[in-house]
Amino acid sequence: MNRKDVIINLLTLPVAVGVVAGVASEAVAAPTMDKKAAQYQDKPKNGQQCSGCSLYVSAKSNPMKDRGGCKLVKGSIAPQGWCKYWTKKA
């Protein structure tokens, strides 16, 4: 290994570490709770609905889905749905 190879390896190491860390953080952020445990329903409750929740991910931000998703609850989530973890958007 020559000096040039060592320098190139030292410069690319932080990039590789960043990529691995980014993939790991996405895996941690995956929804983990099933709908039954969250008491999810496809209709609003007391004026609260998923589209107004800080955990809701609209289908517009994920074109592979026809409905939205949730940062906590697994599966497709209706914008007009509700669960016990509803938290008002800031």
Residues in CB range of 82: below 8 A, 6 or more apart: 40, 41, 43, 44, 45, 48, 49, 50
At 51, the pLDDT band (50, 70, 90 cuts) reads very high
Residues in CB range of 54: below 8 A, 6 or more apart: 87, 88, 89, 90
pLDDT, average across residues 5-16:
74
Q: Which carries the bigger pLDDT value, residue 39 or residue 27?
A: 39
75/87 Cα distance (integer angstroms): 18
Reported as a single tens digit per residue, the pLDDT across 52-73 is 999 999 888 666 666 899 999 9
88/58 Cα distance (integer angstroms): 15
The reported pLDDT for the residue numbered 80 is: 95
The reported pLDDT for the residue numbered 21 is: 55
The reported pLDDT for the residue numbered 64 is: 60
Fold annotation for 31-90: High-Potential Iron-Sulfur Protein; Chain A (4.10.490)
How many whole angstroms from its chain centre is CA 73? 10
The residue among 77, 5, 9 whose CA lies nearest residue 44 is: 77
pLDDT for residue 20 is more than 60: no
